[in-house]
Structure 1
Amino acid sequence: MEVEKKNYDKNEDKQSKIKGLTGYILFLLFGIGTWLNLNGIWIELPLLIPQLSEGWALSAQLGMASNIANIGPLIIALIRHLIGKSKSYEVPSICVIFAVGITVPLILSYTWSIQTLLFGKTRSVCLLILGFFLALVNCTSSVTYLPFVNHFDKKWLNIYFGGESLSSLIPAMLGLIQGVGQAPECVLTSSNPAIKEAKYHPARFSVNIYLICLSIIMLISFCAFVILWKREKKDIEKSPAVQIIIGENAQSSLLAYNNDEIIVKDENDKQEHFTPRTIVYLLIILWTSILLIGCIPSINSYSLNPYGATTFHYVIILCQCCYPLVSCIATFFPSLFNVSTIGITISTISGSLACFYIFLTAYLSPCSPLVDEISGKYIIAIVWAIVYLVFYYERIALGNYFNNTSGHRGLFWYGLLTQAGAFTGALIIFILTILDVFKERDLCANYNCH
């Protein structure tokens, strides 16, 4: 009997480890499907711009299309308001997101180069329209994926954040393999030998193949979601009862079966009213989203180009590694991400000051601070890394705080304010760009910045 018991315990332990490893992989793959496609389009811009009639104006136009796409979260918010506390909208919405995220890159791989005569000018109508739909579903993922993760044990949220971080790192790594971001050669022009122009190196594989790779990754992420959804349904069906009686709260306490762990959840779960502290933290999420997701990416060329193409390229890659690093630390050392008012205040102020320096370098471009000094390159790289490390630490810590204190409702507002901040920040930079506040630095021109 003792031998049988030991064998049984070993099998149980082995199955538990396998199930835990499977959970890590599934939530990681699920999170990858959040911003993969839109990040991929931005990574490809250096290859798209020379081949399309809009030139560098394409970036602003695509950015505006992405901003309009923030109507997606508003639609979900309206649906959620109309159906009350029901979560029935989540799975259909996520399925639509994946359907668009898988098919649109495939269509785009064959149509991105098509130019259409519109209002007297040739325009990349297909790219802009399909780019809008990719942005629409990516924006909507913020208010559907996070609430879905809330159905499971709280420990999986940091794994999901890790997957979300890879949604920016994977396209960057794929672009690095492709050869995007290589420093151009400055060659003399045939028309005027006194003027040099940038000559870019050809990519190792085409934009078409890159987009097809994104579609395949999205398909893998969708498969992970389906398995998670089926597991959730199976665990609920295994429940002998969905309601238990606990004192006077008999009708508000439900059994939730997540990853074979029974968790008693109160139906209200402190979700009816946000505390003043929670509201302040939500405003901080809005503020960090304005800076981190809305403003900073829109001025990266103005801030980093003055320090050279190599600095620009490697700083962007460094920043893409910051989110996965912070997510990894959160997974293995979750106690470091316990929210404290002092910690959140310090991180918000320090991140905001670092953002101010980045704005200063963009505003003073092409003669940014210490632009011709080696120290200038290291300082700007460190400042950019600080912004990403500090704000992503803050966002993961607050995401866990909302998951623990406000549950489904808190994570929904976390996602909604993330998108509101992204829209606001991008709109501010778009207006400043129209007003010609920032000046681009020609990589092959000589500037007297002393």
Structure 2
Amino acid sequence: MEVEKKNVASSQENKTKPKKLVGYILFLLFGIGTWLNLNGIWIELPLLIPRLPEGWSLSPQLGMASNIANIGPLIIALIRHLIGKSSSYEFPSICVIFAVGISVPLILSFTWFKQIYLLGKNRSIYLLVLGFFLALVNCTSSVTYLPFVNHFDHKWLNIYFAGESLSSLIPAILGLIQGVGQKPKCVPVSLNSTEMKAEYYPARFSVQIYLICLSIIMLISFIAFIILWKIKVKNEEKSQAKQIIVGENAQSSLLTVNNDGIIVENQDDKQEKFTRRTIIYLIIILWTSILLIGCIPSLNSYSLNPYGPSTFHYVIILCQCCYPFVSLLASTFPNLFTVSTIGIIISTISGSLAFFYIFLTAYMSPCSPFVDEWSGKYIIAIIWALVYLIFYYERIVLGNYFNKTSGHRGLFWYGLLTQAGAFIGALFIFILTTFDVFKERDLCTYYPCY
């Protein structure tokens, strides 16, 4: 009998493994659709900037245009308030997000270089407007994707975070293959001139092909979402059939396992009240989002470009690898991501100090600290990587905390404050840029910094 039981258990385990693998793949692909398009545009900046009239000021302008898109989460917040605790808004909202995320990169691939004369200047209106719509749906994903994942077992959240991290890594790898960030050649402006200008090498494939690739990846992510949604609906029907009623005010049982091996949870018994500790953590999410998502992307050209185009390019690639690395650790060693108030405070202070060094390098451009020394390149690379590692660690730790303690409501506010922080940070840097606080460093100009 014992032998038969072991054989049955082993056969069930063998059947469950491929089903779990399907779950891993689906949540990874779904997470990739979060910030893929917007991250892709940031990666392409070294190719876009030489061909567009804004120059390096395109970075803060795009950051500001993108973060005005935080009106999207506010609309979702209003809809959620009007319909109460119902999650009926999630499916149509996510479908709209994917519809825009698939179609707009295709349109942008044919129009990104077009300019319109406005207010006395040629401006990249097509890029900024379409970039706004991509940001609108990417921002809205923070308050729709996370609550949707909350319908499933807790273990899938870290897999989703891993997919979200790939939404920045995949565009970076595409850019690396494309040849973004190659060091330009300095050539004379004219035959009799001593003034030099940068001449950029052509990419291995065009911006158009790059954007079409992003659109195809978004389509794959959408297919993964549809499959997950069908699994969710199927399991909700099963859970209704298996409800255990204990008394008049009893609630439904927690777990139901479907044929695909993906556990779906009924969220009715999740505690919705926010404790003082929860509110503090939400404030930390707001602060880290101001720095990581709002300020840093708008500062990258001013902070990194003085150290050379290779440093600029490879540091951006390195930073895109930090989120997947932290997500992999969270999936492999979940015990390392247990919430500790002291640990969260120490990491927040450490990450903030590292950010202030990045801000200092941007403020002092073109003569940033150690700019003409070999050590300067390594210092700035380490500092940038530390900021991303620390703040992404915090975001995953606190995301799991809200998922377990506050459920759907906690993850909704997690996403909403993420986007609020992104807007505040981008607005702050945009205002400073408007007053010419930051200066560009021309790659072919000598600066007597010391």
TM-score bracket for the superposition, by shorter chain length: over 0.9
Residues 352/149 of structure 1: CA separation in 2 closer, same or farther (3 Å cut) = same
> Given that residues 28 and 162 in structure 2 are in contact (C-alpha distance below 8 angstroms), is that contact kept between their aligned partners in structure 1?
yes
Alignment-derived partner of residue 109 in structure 2: 109
Alignment-derived partner of residue 67 in structure 2: 67
CA distance in 1, matches of 2:183, 2:444: 11
User: Shift of the alpha carbon at 1:126?
Assistant: 2.5
CA distance in 2, matches of 1:143, 1:264: 19
Report 1:5-154 matches (<5 A).
8-119=8-119, 121-154=121-154
Alignment-derived partner of residue 221 in structure 1: 221
Residues 447/118 of structure 1: CA separation in 2 closer, same or farther (3 Å cut) = closer
Seq. identity, %: 77
Alignment-derived partner of residue 416 in structure 2: 416
Instruction: Provide the aligned C-alpha RMSD in A.
Output: 2.0
What amino acid is the match of 1:195? E
CA distance in 2, matches of 1:110, 1:131: 14
Larger mean CA deviation between 27-36 and 440-449 belongs to 440-449
CA deviation profile, 1:325-362 (whole Å, cap 9, x unmatched):
00000000000000011110110010011111111111
> Given that residues 154 and 403 in structure 1 are in contact (C-alpha distance below 8 angstroms), is that contact kept between their aligned partners in structure 2?
yes
Alignment-derived partner of residue 267 in structure 1: 268
> Given that residues 267 and 408 in structure 2 are in contact (C-alpha distance below 8 angstroms), is that contact kept between their aligned partners in structure 1?
no
User: Shift of the alpha carbon at 1:294?
Assistant: 0.6
Larger mean CA deviation between 274-283 and 255-264 belongs to 255-264
Unaligned 5+ runs, structure 1: none
> Given that residues 153 and 263 in structure 2 are in contact (C-alpha distance below 8 angstroms), is that contact kept between their aligned partners in structure 1?
no
What amino acid is the match of 2:268? E
Report 1:356-371 matches (<5 A).
356-371=356-371
> Given that residues 183 and 310 in structure 2 are in contact (C-alpha distance below 8 angstroms), is that contact kept between their aligned partners in structure 1?
yes
What amino acid is the match of 2:315? V
Question: Which fold has the larger relative contact order, with Cα–Cα distance below 8 Å and residues 6 or more apart in sequence?
Answer: 2
CA deviation profile, 1:156-203 (whole Å, cap 9, x unmatched):
101100010110111111011111111111222216532221111101
User: Shift of the alpha carbon at 1:240?
Assistant: 5.9
User: Shift of the alpha carbon at 1:242?
Assistant: 5.3
CA distance in 2, matches of 1:261, 1:314: 38
CA distance in 1, matches of 2:73, 2:60: 22
> Given that residues 285 and 418 in structure 2 are in contact (C-alpha distance below 8 angstroms), is that contact kept between their aligned partners in structure 1?
yes
> Given that residues 347 and 394 in structure 1 are in contact (C-alpha distance below 8 angstroms), is that contact kept between their aligned partners in structure 2?
yes
Report 1:231-242 matches (<5 A).
231-239=231-239, 241=241
Instruction: Tell me the secondary structure at the aligned position of residue 56 of structure 1.
Output: helix
What amino acid is the match of 1:281? Y
Unaligned 5+ runs, structure 2: none
Larger mean CA deviation between 342-351 and 40-49 belongs to 40-49
> Given that residues 152 and 262 in structure 2 are in contact (C-alpha distance below 8 angstroms), is that contact kept between their aligned partners in structure 1?
no
Residues 158/266 of structure 1: CA separation in 2 closer, same or farther (3 Å cut) = closer
TM-score (norm 1): 0.95
CA distance in 1, matches of 2:3, 2:298: 64
Instruction: Tell me the secondary structure at the aligned position of residue 238 of structure 1.
Output: helix
Larger mean CA deviation between 368-377 and 286-295 belongs to 368-377
Alignment-derived partner of residue 276 in structure 2: 276
CA deviation profile, 1:72-93 (whole Å, cap 9, x unmatched):
0000000000000000000110
Provide the aligned length of Structure 1 versus Structure 2: 448
Instruction: Tell me the secondary structure at the aligned position of residue 380 of structure 2.
Output: helix
Alignment-derived partner of residue 302 in structure 1: 302
Residue 431 in structure 1 maps to residue 437 in structure 2: no
What amino acid is the match of 2:270? D
TM-score (norm 2): 0.95
CA distance in 1, matches of 2:149, 2:41: 26
CA distance in 2, matches of 1:120, 1:444: 28
Residues 347/247 of structure 1: CA separation in 2 closer, same or farther (3 Å cut) = farther
CA distance in 1, matches of 2:265, 2:146: 20
User: Shift of the alpha carbon at 1:264?
Assistant: 6.9
Residues 240/118 of structure 1: CA separation in 2 closer, same or farther (3 Å cut) = closer
CA deviation profile, 1:99-121 (whole Å, cap 9, x unmatched):
11111111211222333344554
User: Shift of the alpha carbon at 1:63?
Assistant: 2.2
Residue 349 in structure 1 maps to residue 349 in structure 2: yes
> Given that residues 244 and 255 in structure 1 are in contact (C-alpha distance below 8 angstroms), is that contact kept between their aligned partners in structure 2?
no
Instruction: Tell me the secondary structure at the aligned position of residue 243 of structure 1.
Output: coil
User: Shift of the alpha carbon at 1:269?
Assistant: 1.6
CA distance in 2, matches of 1:266, 1:103: 34
CA deviation profile, 1:344-383 (whole Å, cap 9, x unmatched):
0110010011111111111111111122222222111111
User: Shift of the alpha carbon at 1:254?
Assistant: 4.2
> Given that residues 253 and 266 in structure 1 are in contact (C-alpha distance below 8 angstroms), is that contact kept between their aligned partners in structure 2?
no
CA distance in 2, matches of 1:55, 1:366: 15
Alignment-derived partner of residue 202 in structure 2: 202
User: Shift of the alpha carbon at 1:20?
Assistant: 0.9
CA distance in 2, matches of 1:51, 1:2: 72
Alignment-derived partner of residue 257 in structure 1: 256
> Given that residues 253 and 265 in structure 1 are in contact (C-alpha distance below 8 angstroms), is that contact kept between their aligned partners in structure 2?
yes
CA deviation profile, 1:269-292 (whole Å, cap 9, x unmatched):
211x20000000000000000001
User: Shift of the alpha carbon at 1:134?
Assistant: 0.6
Alignment-derived partner of residue 289 in structure 1: 289
CA distance in 2, matches of 1:264, 1:46: 45
CA distance in 2, matches of 1:53, 1:357: 30
